[in-house]
A and B are shown apart, each in its own frame.
Chain A
């Protein structure tokens, strides 16, 4: 089931991606709407991270293309931000919280230009937004998982992009961080920015997103949450793993998520 976006900001066209000649994504063809909080959902190994890495040009495409703002990525890089999975970097790296956020400003600076005072203030503002201003000079190895994720989010905010791809930003974070990140994302989409999030938790997915992409190597569904987030679609996405789905499916049908503990 596929619903095309009315005001598309990203277009995947017949995208196929392979790892070592083994296809991991088949014929992904969809459009995603501007100003939405979009969740990419699917089981482990469904190719969720692969999809956004391919969109960001980090993986070679087997066939097809991805267009953003109706342009190739290279022409609109300054409008697009990518937040990698937290585990992909070395958190023992000798750098401070502020330094990491400043990296979000690098693409706005030329080769020789050094960051100016305005860039630093901008970075500080982003840290304030994610509630990390008290940790400015902290070495990054001293941060908790949730704090690391907030720093990554602040770096993305410092890029001042219009379209954000985030790889598992809610993985392994505490409840307070989860709520803080969600609030920031909602504020971003309210301001017309588009946020695309790889997410693995079905229960919270129903609460978080406006638009859902269900993925399992091929595209199962893409559309507004109330149209595509139903038992049939989830069964199709998760295949035989019905045990996991039994209760979740029930919850989804009722469209209420009372079982999640809030802090």
Chain B
């Protein structure tokens, strides 16, 4: 049963991250996802200090606010201070993350949070942290509910805002002229990334959540040239890496989150080599065939 809980939780988080990641990589903002996943740390710590619990609604709000602040700062440095995007991202998220690290170390006595947990998470503990209802009934792991809720919120968001998200991703100038607020949808998307990141924090950690945001959509991008199919393939990959990653970790007796992302990396490599549309292997073979055809002497 533990295996099922872990795989299910991991799959649900990976799907949430992957769906948002599809938009991020097409907006060329994958690294903004990375930045947000780190920058939410001070938000989490401050919310924790105020409320004193680790699974609170306030914590998610705190993180979402920091994520949006991070997005805002990156745009601000980029547009107003004319700093290059990558430099703006680098400065912003490391500063915010460092602030979080300082907060944790200063309030170490009061905070049941440590850098290890924040950075790496531990999905193996999912089945231990159970939700016991008031009547004392065991309702299953808390993380499973969090991951399911996160996915529902994300699917609703993408479903409701699909046209706007799609259009502002493909052609923001055109979107703006039709009266769609490009900035609003950008912040909504980044707010969702922040919330998802925080929700997935406990389980997969800040570093590995980045991999879930980027690797499955990047793999899907190589396999199709239809956006809706890209989202479906991303979901499929999210489930596959969760299952294979879990058993790889059991086999090696290692970190589950690490194994999940390793599998994601391997799948990306395979897609790069063997994708029907952009795989280098098939391209080579086709080129060779063409060359042979051309080289054939005419009779």
Contact = CB atoms under 8 A, between A and B. Distances in A.
Interface of A: 20, 53, 56-58, 74, 77, 80-82, 84, 88-90, 93-96, 99-100, 103, 106-107, 109, 111-112, 114, 139, 141, 155, 159
B225 A139 contact: yes
A96 B228 CA distance: 11
A94 B167 contact: no
Given A89-B171, A103-B174, A94 B179 contact: no
A106 B163 contact: yes
In this complex, the interface size class of chain B, counting residues with CB under 8 Å from chain A, is 20 to 34
Nearest 9 interchain pairs by C-beta: A107-B178, A82-B177, A139-B225, A94-B227, A56-B177, A94-B225, A77-B179, A84-B173, A89-B171
Contact of B174 (A57, A84, A90): A84
B48 to A, nearest CB: 35
B281 interface: no
A159 B171 CA distance: 15
Contacts of A57: 176-177
A96 B225 CA distance: 8
16 contacts: A81-B177, A82-B173, A84-B174, A88-B173, A93-B170, A93-B227, A94-B226, A94-B229, A96-B226, A99-B227, A103-B174, A106-B180, A111-B161, A111-B163, A114-B163, A139-B226
B171 A84 contact: yes
Contacts of B78: none
Contacts of A56: 176-177
Contacts of A74: 179
Contacts of A139: 225-226
B221 interface: yes
A20 B82 CA distance: 10
A10 to B, nearest CB: 14
A81 to B, nearest CB: 8
A106 B178 contact: yes
Contacts of B221: 94
A202 B26 CA distance: 37
B252 interface: no
Given A58-B176, A103-B174, 19 more contacts: A57-B176, A82-B173, A82-B174, A84-B173, A90-B26, A93-B26, A93-B169, A94-B224, A94-B227, A94-B229, A95-B170, A95-B227, A96-B226, A103-B166, A106-B163, A106-B164, A111-B160, A111-B161, A114-B163
A47 to B, nearest CB: 17
B225 A109 contact: no
B158 to A, nearest CB: 13
A254 B213 CA distance: 63
Contact of B171 (A88, A107, A141): A88
Nearest to B178: A107
A74 B160 CA distance: 23
A80 B180 CA distance: 14
A57 B229 CA distance: 34
Contacts of A159: 178
